[in-house]
Structure 1
Amino acid sequence: MVMSRSESHQRRKRERSKRLRRLAVVNFVLLLAVGALAVVYALQRGDGGSGTPDKPDAAANANGGSADAGKGAGDAPAANGEGSQDGQSGQQAGDAGGTPSAGQAQDGAGGADAANGGEGGGNAAGGDGPGSGGKPDGGSPADGAAGTAAPGSGGSGAPAEAGVGAGSGADAANLSFTGDILLAASVEKLMLKNGYGYPYAKARNYLQLSDITAANLETPVTLRGTPAPNKQYVYKASPDALPALIDSGVDLVNLANNHTLDQGEVGLLDTIGYLNKVKLPNVGAGRNDAEAFKPVIKEANGIRVAYLGLTRVVPVGSWKAGPNHPGLAESYDPSRAVAAIKKAKAEADVVVVMVHWGTELADLPNADQKRLGHAYIDAGADLVVGSHPHVLQGFESYKGKWIAYSLGNFVFSGMPDKRTADTGVLDAACGAGGACSLAFHPMRAVQSQPAPLEGEEAAALLKRLAGISVHATVDANGLIHAKE
């Protein structure tokens, strides 16, 4: 039987996961053996040769330590009309007020929160900012799965120091996330020149080693459609770009954002159709509101993970999904999202909410992000992962759960603000109880191609993330810890 590209990709991921689990078991057994030898050695070094251990505590610690060691822890060309703001002429999704009525512009249009819908300016050169262009160094990809997932180590395994119920390695669902992925505009030009796999070449290892990798797809995929009127940035991507996205390691995409209907309802329906054709699961949009708010449930290592897509950035009210028309799962009023989360929690072990929200180019989350993030977790979400600001925002530990307020751009047109080039891959090891442990792998995009950062550059980015996190910190290895 001939398998589709998506099925083949999933099969390769399962095989890699099995190999990593076997490696972890072998390492664990070897470490236990080393611990046992340490105990024997300590027993033989008794005072006067009596056989009584010199330092019984040290021997016990050596054995216990060996067991623990086995745990995993826009450059927007002027020709495309890409300027400085996306939410022009009353199309801005505003944070100043309530939900727009159908066919009306969002609150805040014309100024109250004009920064919230822009896509940034561009330079024609195509540079995304300075940074390292090198691949991860040191060790094979499997090395990261057996121990701590340290940035730049070449491994993308389960993060260390998993919380209660979080699990690690083979007894956890190992999830990865990226920020915005754009397959149009100057990114498309780069792919046509260098191949559709170009954007992922230096980050591929970090996308492929987890059980499930999810991203925000910031463009409709269609060959048809009518461009949205009065909108600064209007995108359209070719379905030819999808196989490379799947081959990169991406297993699921969120469509709940302010570009999915750039080509109207026809473009949205085409997008869903093309994604279904290549068997790439998608959330956050649908032929009606029931489809838009429906989760995708995937299983990893026996753990059921539900993904939901939401947006609080909707250019006009008609983009919202309704009972009888296509659109997005919006979250200006969180009641529908809360109901969907509660339902998903009854069907899955872990609930992940991917949400488009916030103020562009802001380092810190705004009040609506905090309010909604807390409401999602109170409803049963275990992990909330945000996008839209185009820059990295910090993490928050809330009631034992995690909010990643913004993962910034991942593959995107470059922007004048150099912070938009800072990006990375977020790993989460989540146990059947819903607890997750997190690790962040810092990267920087050059010419729309993210690459791992090393040394002082990695340390500086992780330190900045620690400084803007809430009740959380990020250590020098990229591990994210809760703090009071």
Structure 2
Amino acid sequence: MPPSRIEERKALKKKRRQSRIRAVTAINLILLFMIFAMIGYYYITEGNEQISRQMAANSNAGVTGTDSDPGTSGNASVPGPAAQVQQESEMETVPEAEPDTSAPETVQTTPGPAKEEGVLEETGPEEGSDTSGDSADDTRSDSVILNFVGDMQFSGKVEQLLQEKGYDYPYKRLGSLFKSDDLTVGNLETPVTNGGTGAANKTYVYKSSPDALPELAAAGMNVVNLANNHILDQGVSGLKDTLVHLRHYGILYMGAGMNTKEAYAPVYVKRNGMTIALLGFSRVIPEVSWHAGANRAGVAGVYDPAAAVQAIRKASKKADLVIVTTHWGKERASVLEDHQSELAHAFIDAGADLVIGSHPHVLQGLEIYKGKWIAYSTGNFIFSKSVTEATQDTAVFQASCTKDGACAMKLIPCRAELGQPVPLSGEKAAKILKKVENMSSSNISIDSKGRASAG
């Protein structure tokens, strides 16, 4: 073969090798680019999630703003004088689709401070009842005493009253009730903020001052449920402020957060050697956008209960006692909606030991399902006063629970005056107890001391 031909073949082979090298190099570069792109995307999205979680924690407790409440009358809760004589009448809106119901991971929250010794200023209940003794179960060595109350808001006429009489006014008739128990839980049906932007498409828009929280904490309130149809009345910024202020005053919360994981997560507390898990959910949410999402602040909804059921199951593996608080039902209705009993039973099937409801603004009945108590509605507690007389009947629902999840239930009847619950005795108390008994399952009876039992 001529030398020129040999050289041509060598040159051709060299070109082919170079082409292969270039091709392999190009492929490697593409792969590296894809790997770096995926890493970058991960850190960007994860960073965004961390930022959204940290925004509330890093905000100053004294956040202020100048946004006004559209459609309200300057009292930041109702649109005009006529609304003072009736409770809210927002229609329950069923979301078209439940956002992000992937199973949330439980997040342990540091328990709040232990109950202080001593009592608040005790002027005594108006009707002369003793709220400090005769608990649901007087055996304390192997049990915990838990008090549950209904809706609380410090807005509008309530706020005006408290500014005049002092922010400790709501608790002056309660004596040491919430300081002598092991845990007190209520439904905080208002954002707590000096800023925020009022919701434009709601009839009743609440906004409570942070000034109300120190006395709420001092009265013994340990945990509040935020899963309700008012907690986003001042938008996401109002929710963020609420979380900051609650943490500042040592009040634990559940049912809402900066994303799905936080909203559905239980809060854990330890009392008398027991681990207690508390979770909050709502079946009353004004708009789909209020639902917490993977990267969206909001409420733990239960139109689809899958995420809630999963969260309860996880909590039951870590806690001795699992308590679920739920916002549900129809306003000013003593008759249950179908979804109330369906959800309550699903929660207990998943591992809940006690289910406590709110939202109707009136009392509803009790039920025992598989040995577990359900209180369908605790009524109002610290709220505006309505001409609808049934909204003035309320009670403290007191449970005494043991480490194996068995609970006894007792009611302490009260009257919900404007901004102040007043414990009752005598005929007035008996009337409320009989009313709740009549609304309860047929096998439930309530004695003259408020102790409920299943026959």
TM-score, with structure 2 as normaliser: 0.74
The answer as to 2:233 corresponding to 1:237 is no
The structural deviation recorded for 1:294 is 0.6
Count of residue pairs brought into register by the alignment? 355
The structural deviation recorded for 1:154 is 3.5
- Aligned pairs (5 A) from 1:3-42: none
2:26 matched residue in structure 1: none
The structural deviation recorded for 1:204 is 3.7
The answer as to 2:421 corresponding to 1:425 is no
The structural deviation recorded for 1:189 is 0.6
2:454 matched residue in structure 1: 482
Quote the sequence identity (%).
46
The structural deviation recorded for 1:395 is 0.6
Choose the corresponding residue for 2:177, options 206, 219, 222.
206
2:288 matched residue in structure 1: 317
Choose the corresponding residue for 1:99, options 95, 113, 116.
95
Q: Which whole-Å deviations, capped at 9, do the CAs of 1:122-180 have from their partners, x for residues lacking one?
A: xxxxxxxxxxx961788xxxxxxxxxxxxx3332454149xxxxxx3121011111000
Which structure has the greater CA radius of gyration? 2
The structural deviation recorded for 1:185 is 1.1
C-alpha separation between the residues in 1 aligned to 2:140 and 2:355?
Answer: 21
Which residue type is aligned with residue 249 of structure 1?
G
Secondary structure of the corresponding residue to residue 150 of structure 2: strand
C-alpha separation between the residues in 2 aligned to 1:187 and 1:401?
Answer: 35
1:219 matched residue in structure 2: 190
Q: 2:79–2:203: 8 Å Cα contact kept in structure 1? A: no
Q: 1:81–1:232: 8 Å Cα contact kept in structure 2? A: no
Q: Which whole-Å deviations, capped at 9, do the CAs of 1:354-380 have from their partners, x for residues lacking one?
A: 110001111122111010011000100
Choose the corresponding residue for 1:337, options 278, 295, 308.
308
The answer as to 2:445 corresponding to 1:473 is yes
Which residue type is aligned with residue 131 of structure 2?
G
Choose the corresponding residue for 2:229, options 247, 255, 258.
258
TM-score, with structure 1 as normaliser: 0.70
Q: 1:83–1:232: 8 Å Cα contact kept in structure 2? A: no
Choose the corresponding residue for 1:413, options 384, 397, 408.
384
Which residue type is aligned with residue 449 of structure 2?
N
Gaps of 5+ in 2: 1-76, 100-122
Choose the corresponding residue for 1:352, options 280, 303, 323.
323
Q: 1:354–1:385: 8 Å Cα contact kept in structure 2? A: yes
- Aligned pairs (5 A) from 1:276-291: 276-291=247-262
1:135 matched residue in structure 2: 125
2:149 matched residue in structure 1: 178
Q: 2:131–2:412: 8 Å Cα contact kept in structure 1? A: no
Secondary structure of the corresponding residue to residue 205 of structure 1: coil
1:125 matched residue in structure 2: none
Q: Which whole-Å deviations, capped at 9, do the CAs of 1:422-470 have from their partners, x for residues lacking one?
A: 1111111111100100111001122321111111111111111111111
Q: 1:156–1:209: 8 Å Cα contact kept in structure 2? A: no
The structural deviation recorded for 1:481 is 0.3
Secondary structure of the corresponding residue to residue 416 of structure 1: coil
C-alpha separation between the residues in 2 aligned to 1:433 and 1:252?
Answer: 22
Which residue type is aligned with residue 442 of structure 1?
P
C-alpha separation between the residues in 1 aligned to 2:323 and 2:239?
Answer: 23
2:369 matched residue in structure 1: 398
Q: Which whole-Å deviations, capped at 9, do the CAs of 1:33-61 have from their partners, x for residues lacking one?
A: xxxxxxxxxxxxxxxxxxxxxxxxxxxxx
**1:185/1:245 Cα in 2 relative to 1: closer, same or farther (>3 Å)?**
same
Q: 1:306–1:351: 8 Å Cα contact kept in structure 2? A: yes
**1:338/1:270 Cα in 2 relative to 1: closer, same or farther (>3 Å)?**
same
C-alpha separation between the residues in 2 aligned to 1:282 and 1:324?
Answer: 20
2:271 matched residue in structure 1: 300
C-alpha separation between the residues in 1 aligned to 2:133 and 2:264?
Answer: 31
C-alpha separation between the residues in 2 aligned to 1:169 and 1:136?
Answer: 28
C-alpha separation between the residues in 2 aligned to 1:389 and 1:207?
Answer: 24
C-alpha separation between the residues in 2 aligned to 1:99 and 1:304?
Answer: 35
C-alpha separation between the residues in 1 aligned to 2:169 and 2:208?
Answer: 15
Q: Which whole-Å deviations, capped at 9, do the CAs of 1:46-88 have from their partners, x for residues lacking one?
A: xxxxxxxxxxxxxxxxxxxxxxxxxxxxx96835965757455
**1:171/1:158 Cα in 2 relative to 1: closer, same or farther (>3 Å)?**
farther
C-alpha separation between the residues in 2 aligned to 1:136 and 1:83?
Answer: 24
C-alpha separation between the residues in 2 aligned to 1:351 and 1:102?
Answer: 25
Which residue type is aligned with residue 248 of structure 2?
K
Choose the corresponding residue for 1:439, options 401, 406, 410.
410
Secondary structure of the corresponding residue to residue 419 of structure 1: helix
Q: Which whole-Å deviations, capped at 9, do the CAs of 1:330-358 have from their partners, x for residues lacking one?
A: 01111111001001101100000011000
Secondary structure of the corresponding residue to residue 177 of structure 2: helix
Which residue type is aligned with residue 148 of structure 2?
F
C-alpha separation between the residues in 1 aligned to 2:431 and 2:134?
Answer: 22
Runs of 4+ in 1 over 6 A off after TM superposition: none
**1:433/1:292 Cα in 2 relative to 1: closer, same or farther (>3 Å)?**
same
2:15 matched residue in structure 1: none
Secondary structure of the corresponding residue to residue 331 of structure 1: coil
Gaps of 5+ in 1: 1-74, 104-132, 139-151, 162-167
Task: Tell me the C-alpha RMSD between the 2 structures.
Answer: 2.1
- Aligned pairs (5 A) from 1:67-106: 78-79=80-81, 84=86, 86=88, 92-94=91-93, 99-101=95-97
C-alpha separation between the residues in 1 aligned to 2:233 and 2:225?
Answer: 15
Q: 1:159–1:437: 8 Å Cα contact kept in structure 2? A: yes
The structural deviation recorded for 1:183 is 1.1
2:345 matched residue in structure 1: 374
Secondary structure of the corresponding residue to residue 207 of structure 1: coil
Which residue type is aligned with residue 257 of structure 1?
N
C-alpha separation between the residues in 2 aligned to 1:377 and 1:170?
Answer: 26
Q: 1:176–1:425: 8 Å Cα contact kept in structure 2? A: yes
1:155 matched residue in structure 2: 132
The structural deviation recorded for 1:264 is 0.5
Choose the corresponding residue for 1:197, options 168, 174, 188.
168
